[in-house]
Amino acid sequence: MSDVVYEQVEVRRARYAVAAVFAVHGAVTGSFATRVPWIQDHASVSAGQLGLALAFPALGASLAMPLAGSVTHRFGARNALRGLIALWTLSLVLPALAPNLLTLCLALFVYGATAGMADVAMNALGVEVENRLGRSIMSGLHGLWSAGALIGSAAGTLAAHLGADARLHHALAAGVLTVVGVASCSWVLDLQPAEDEDPPPRFALPPRSALLIGAVGFCAVFAEGASLDWSAVYLREQLESSAGLAAACTTGFTLTMAIARIVGDKVVDRYGSVRTVRVGGVLAVLGGVLIVVANHPALAMSGFALMGLGIAVVVPLCFAAAGRSGSNPSLAIAGVATITYTSGLIAPSAIGGLAEATSLTVSFGLVTVLACGLVVFAGVLRSGDRDRPKVSRRSAAVADPRP
């Protein structure tokens, strides 16, 4: 087997491996989300205290993400991801063990910190595989994250329906997901720093390019967080729909995003990152307008579906652009991830606060205005487009990769 053919096989295998890691990461999130009511009862915290505790995962992630670059530099990409994904999956057991508010906050801080560092490491490897393949895969990887989250949620819903103790449920889930995640890491790219490469700072602020790219991701994640947490409430309170129909709206939004991400890579390869995000922004704005003017649940549900379709591929493309925007991909990706996590943290509370002062209609008017930012600022994602010609499999097989 020639060197080129072997490299192609290795990269394809690495793609499937990192895809499995994305699915595992999503499954942990889905497993946790479905058992939050059990965790609240076990820790004996009020709704307000639970809201405070649920801010700690984002806080932990935001503080830990900038450390991911130094961890990867020290241990290599494969070993770093193997260790970080294991820490993330095992941290699933901590929240269910917390007996009070203080320990719950500490558990969720660790849960978020390990999630954030694993997130940066796996996205950096995803971008590297995408670069070597010469075609978009980041949207599909994030689609598999969504699929993993749906699987984890389904298993958690079944466990809750059966009345299973969340400590046992999460211990079993953590064990299975740790094995799958660590085993998958055996085939990801084993990237090592060059001998003369200086180690990154232990903690550094993101570069300016990451801030601009992160601003686009902020708009998308704000719309995502608002829709996930408030779409059911919007249908129930504004349009007086049934509880079942309201819940179906949220599920439909999630499925729309997952499907759009899985098929989004073909669209990105054909039209490029900038054009894809601009068209997506138009769809998101149209969806927001439908939500705001809706006088019937079907119209609002169509609006939320368009919103999900429009924003689905934005965050994957932000990570791809960050990974190609400078000399330190991990630092840029960490910066974008920190901004998007922050957006996801503040969106639900911002929507609720504005709704209490005015109305939910005004709140989703704000979401619509932010969606306009996708159309206006999509140009900053130009670094995510590959301007080199693709190499066919046939020509690659006879090319000499050595200088």
The answer to whether the beta carbons of residues 321 and 216 sit under 8 Å apart is no
pTM above threshold 0.75: yes
Q: At 30, which amino acid appears?
A: G
Class of domain 8-186: mainly alpha
HSE toward the beta carbon, residue 400, CA cutoff 13 A: 2
Q: How far apart are CA 266 and CA 280, in angstroms?
A: 14
Joined together, the tokens standing for residue 199 give 């180690």
Tell me the DSSP string of 135-182. S--HHHHHHHHHHHHHHHHHHHHHHHHTT--HHHHHHHHHHHHHHHHH
pLDDT tens digit at each of 403 positions of the chain: 566 676 788 899 999 999 999 999 999 988 998 888 899 999 999 877 887 888 898 889 888 988 888 898 889 999 999 999 999 999 999 999 999 999 999 999 999 999 999 999 999 999 999 999 989 999 999 999 988 988 888 888 888 889 999 999 999 999 999 999 999 999 999 888 766 666 665 555 667 778 889 999 999 999 998 888 788 889 988 998 887 888 788 878 888 888 899 999 999 999 999 999 999 999 999 999 999 999 999 999 999 999 999 999 999 999 999 988 766 777 788 888 888 888 887 887 788 888 888 998 999 999 999 999 999 999 999 865 654 334 333 333 333 333 3
44: left (phi over 0), alpha (psi -120 to 50) or beta: left
To the nearest 10 degrees (0 to 180), the angle between helices 56-64 and 329-357 is 150
In CATH terms, are 8-186 and 208-384 the same topology?
yes
How many CB atoms neighbour CB 194 within 10 A? 6
How many CB atoms neighbour CB 243 within 10 A? 10
Domain chopping of the chain, boundaries:
8-186, 208-384
Q: Write down the residue that tokens 């129930």 correspond to.
A: 236
DSSP state of 379: G
Class of domain 208-384: mainly alpha
